[in-house]
């Protein structure tokens, strides 16, 4: 067990010291900034006041942000870790220490999990900063008026006319703790990112090239876009969207956050 923990710590430290964190930070910042713009656009003709937490809620429900930007950054960070071990000879040093490939893979997955936690924390911080600085919105943990509103709202001019409201995520109940809600979402995204990272790292067992994981992720995203463009309703079946978009809004009957909301929603959509 001691050797396993040491190897897991070493793997995590190697990822933590990577210069690719600059790319991760840049893409997370871009995603957060764009999501803050979406929230501002959604409420500009209403009297509703969003909060900085709403930016994160919007970002993790937009596949363009969580899929095309943040997950690509994560894959770029962790995808070639196995290839590096082979090229620099670390694999032949670590395996005898652990005694089995199973423990080696377990140590890898632990490092991927911790890297996913760090990416999600960084993304959450950028979302909160974007909401607070760009929008001037509150950091209060209580769900905002926008997060708890129905599908229509009175306009800011007070003339009594209702205007359609752009819903960027599933509305919460009044008085909900938005901070806790988004922390749970982050934990869900950690598991989703770890699953994606593990799958793409496993591909390099057969195709031992450093560019393979990022290339595979980008090709998958392009294929998802193409299928969505040519086939109506593809978004209901897309594995990437079902896995990465944390909460789904179907227009009615939303019953709250579920740890397995993506998989449950996918199953219900296919049935």
Measured distance CA(252)–CA(258) in Å, rounded: 16
Q: Which residue has the tokens 């709202």?
A: 153
Half-sphere exposure of 50 (CA within 13 A, CB side): 33
Each residue of 235-254: pLDDT tens digit? 777 777 777 765 544 333 33
Q: Which 3-state string (H, E, C) describes 154-195?
A: EECCCCCCEEECCCCCCCCCCCCEHHHHHHHHHHHHHHHHHH
pTM, to two decimals: 0.81
Phi, psi angles (nearest 5°) of residue 100 = -160, 150
Each residue of 201-248: pLDDT tens digit? 888 878 778 788 888 889 988 888 888 778 877 777 777 777 776 554
Q: What is the mean pLDDT of residues 88-107?
A: 69
Q: At residue 256, does pLDDT exceed 80? A: no
Q: Are strands 152-154 and 162-164 parallel, antiparallel or unpaired?
A: antiparallel
Q: At residue 156, does pLDDT exceed 50? A: no
Measured distance CA(216)–CA(238) in Å, rounded: 16
Q: Is residue 58 within 8 Å of 78, Cβ to Cβ?
A: no
């Amino acid at each position: 067990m001691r050797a396993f923990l040491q190897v897991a710590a070493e793997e995590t430290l190697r990822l933590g010291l990577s210069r690719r964190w600059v790319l991760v930070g840049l893409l997370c910042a871009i995603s957060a900034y764009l999501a803050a713009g979406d929230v501002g656009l959604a409420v500009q003709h209403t009297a509703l006041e969003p909060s900085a937490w709403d930016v994160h809620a919007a970002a993790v429900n937009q596949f363009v942000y969580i899929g095309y930007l943040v997950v690509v950054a994560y894959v770029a960070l962790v995808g070639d870790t196995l290839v590096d071990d082979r090229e620099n000879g670390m694999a032949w040093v670590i395996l005898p220490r652990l005694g089995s490939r199973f423990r080696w893979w377990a140590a890898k997955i632990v490092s991927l999990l911790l890297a996913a936690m760090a990416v999600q924390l960084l993304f959450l911080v950028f979302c909160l900063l974007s909401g607070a600085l760009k929008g001037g919105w509150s950091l209060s943990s209580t769900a905002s008026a926008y997060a708890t509103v129905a599908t229509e709202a009175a306009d800011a001019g007070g003339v009594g006319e209702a205007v359609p409201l752009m819903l960027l995520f599933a509305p919460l109940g009044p008085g909900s703790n938005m901070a806790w809600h988004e922390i749970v979402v982050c934990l869900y995204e950690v598991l989703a990112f770890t699953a994606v990272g593990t799958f793409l790292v496993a591909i390099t067992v057969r195709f031992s090239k450093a560019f393979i994981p990022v290339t595979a992720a980008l090709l998958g995203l392009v294929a998802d876009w193409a299928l969505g463009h040519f086939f109506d309703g593809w978004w209901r079946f897309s594995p990437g969207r079902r896995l990465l978009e944390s909460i789904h809004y179907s227009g009615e009957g939303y019953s709250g956050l579920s740890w397995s909301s993506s998989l449950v929603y996918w199953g219900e959509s296919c049935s």
